[in-house]
A and B are shown apart, each in its own frame.
Chain A
Amino acid sequence: MAKPSPQDRKYTKEHEWAKADGAGTVTMGITDHAQELLTDVVYVELPAVGRKVRQQEPIAVVESVKSVSDVYAPVSGEVIEVNQALEASPELVNKDAFGAGWIARIRMEAPAELDGLMTADQYEEHIKASPH
């Protein structure tokens, strides 16, 4: 059973989360539900720092032994930091998808995009309706 989705952040249909850090930036990652579906993560292809992304553009790739999944940018902006710890320990995505398994931090171009994302409750409804 996936961990409950924390209230302090927003969610996308593709199972990413975005948490506002304060100064116009967000930290993003994939949800615990997503990591459950993927099973053991073996590798995360991180974006380059400085890369500009549009909302919903593929920003990272998460690999398990049997599958490859694109991770989509929850908001538009510039990648300002990536979670280097995932290079040596991709399993952090499985162990702590909402915390130590974060993927990147983005400086938002259009903060209003964050408002358009789902709340924790809406996301929980979403995964109940479509378990895949």
Chain B
Amino acid sequence: MDYVPHTPEDQKEMLKAIGVEDLEALFADIPAKYRLGRLLDLPAPLAEQEIWEHMSSLAARNRLPGATLTGAGAYRHYIPAVVSHVVGRSEFYTAYTPYQAEISQGILQAIYEYQTMIARLTGTQVANASMYDGATAMAEAAVLSAKSLGRSRLLVARSVHPEYRKVIGTYAWANGYACAEIPFGATGQIERDALRGLLDDRTAAVLVQSPNFFGVIEDIGPLADLAHRRGALLVAGFTDPTSLGILKAPGDSGADFVVGEGQGFGNPLHYGGPYLGILASTEAFMRKIPGRLVGATVDREGRRGYVLTLQTREQHIRREKATSNICSNEALCMLAAAVYLASLGKNLKRLAALNVWKANYLKEALAALPGWTPLFTGPVYNEFAMSCPDAKEANRRLERAGFIGGYDLSKDYPELGGGILLCATEMLRREDMDKAVALLT
């Protein structure tokens, strides 16, 4: 199946208009020795029905779980039908970046509304139209901090998602920045004294996550104060955006940048992508933050309208002086998030509360099992870390029953002496939690 409309007659007519004999002649600039004399070695083409059959059977080779007990950066939340409906409109999904504003007012207004919603949720003044994912959003905020301050040291909390720390490490290596780790304590939160000791005049940014990888909620205010006292910036990250439904906005606690993963707002798990990087900041960084920004303005007849603005921050104008190279983003995922937030509205609070109650229920049920204790004493959102007799065996039992178990902490946090990270969202039914506990007894 292919999508070229031309018949041989069409092609003949067009070749005649161009004045060449055949299609070969149009490739004359390619030296003959480089022209493939053969067809590529790929499977034979398929008719649409065959495509459907092949792809269905490939998808069926996957196994969908009865319940998912892992979060760790990607969350199974219920997606209202209205979200899929809106992002399925082909005026949205087949559209290009809205550089031609007059015919793109639809998405431009939607982005402006999204920017507003995110700024309100995060307690900031500027939110961009998306980054690739939470990890790169955090890494780019780190790079921007370093470039803005002319400093080259980054302090990254060990309780930030391990993959996020690796990505920050890769971006730091590329730019020649040094990274040091901030430890966590018995509560699971950052050790403030340790942070105070680590801060120095070379530090550009302190990067923290709340709720952190262990699900523990940080008190951002004091962390921001410590950073600011040494002239450093505070980057507050998150991996489950629904947490913003009940938690204090990081911007209100003094964070300079709020970054995170927006997948939990209306985007499927999708085996890891595409996801949605959220990046928001104080007004001070409005002319420096990466990514696209939509601004309100008026047209020649005074009508309100929206345009991509402050484009001089971006690579197509600043080129090698740009602080980021980002061009394409995750616009459609952002649209899903916007519709999700519009649909839930203030019910986001109850959604978030339900997550807390479910996780609390599971945690208490597991804590009653011999050998199972919470690893940390700090307050949690919808994830929690437990020490248990044998995390691998626990997951084996859960998987045999068709569940996706918890995240085994031994590889990333060997110092915890064996532990498991579990997540309960609003989609985890009580009967599944009871079943899980029974399997682990």
Contact = CB atoms under 8 A, between A and B. Distances in A.
B23 interface: no
B321 A43 contact: no
Contact of B287 (A43, A64, A66): A43
B320 to A, nearest CB: 12
A88 interface: no
A64 B309 CA distance: 11
B interface: dominant SS? helix
A65 B287 contact: no
B28 interface: no
Contacts of B317: 66-68
A96 interface: no
Nearest to B288: A45
B318 interface: yes
A112 to B, nearest CB: 31
Interface residues of A, number: 9
Contacts of A67: 312, 317
B305 to A, nearest CB: 15
Interface string B298-324: 000000000000011000011001000
A68 B287 CA distance: 12
Interface string A61-89: 00111111000000000000000000000
A97 B317 CA distance: 24
Contacts of A42: 312
Nearest to B307: A65
Contacts of B318: 68
Contacts of B311: 65-66
A42 B287 CA distance: 11
Nearest to A63: B312
A45 B321 CA distance: 14
Nearest to A70: B321
Contacts of B312: 42-43, 63-68
Contacts of A65: 311-312
A80 to B, nearest CB: 22
Nearest to A64: B312
A66 B313 CA distance: 10
Nearest to B322: A68
A64 B312 CA distance: 8
A43 B318 CA distance: 14
Interface string A48-69: 0000000000000001111110
Interface in B260-298: 287
B195 to A, nearest CB: 28
A33 B318 CA distance: 22
A50 to B, nearest CB: 15
B164 to A, nearest CB: 31
A57 B317 CA distance: 21
A117 B321 CA distance: 28
A35 B81 CA distance: 52
Most buried by B among A42, A63, A66, A67: A63
Among the interface residues B312, B317, B321, which one has the most CB atoms of the partner chain A within 10 A?
Answer: B312
A67 B311 CA distance: 9
Nearest to B318: A68
B292 to A, nearest CB: 15
A48 to B, nearest CB: 12
A116 B268 CA distance: 65
Interface of B: 287, 311-312, 317-318, 321
Interface of A: 42-43, 45, 63-68
Given A65-B311, A66-B317, A67-B312, 5 more contacts: A43-B312, A66-B311, A66-B312, A67-B317, A68-B321
Closest 10 A/B residue pairs (Cβ): A63-B312, A68-B312, A68-B318, A68-B317, A67-B317, A43-B287, A66-B317, A67-B312, A68-B321, A65-B311
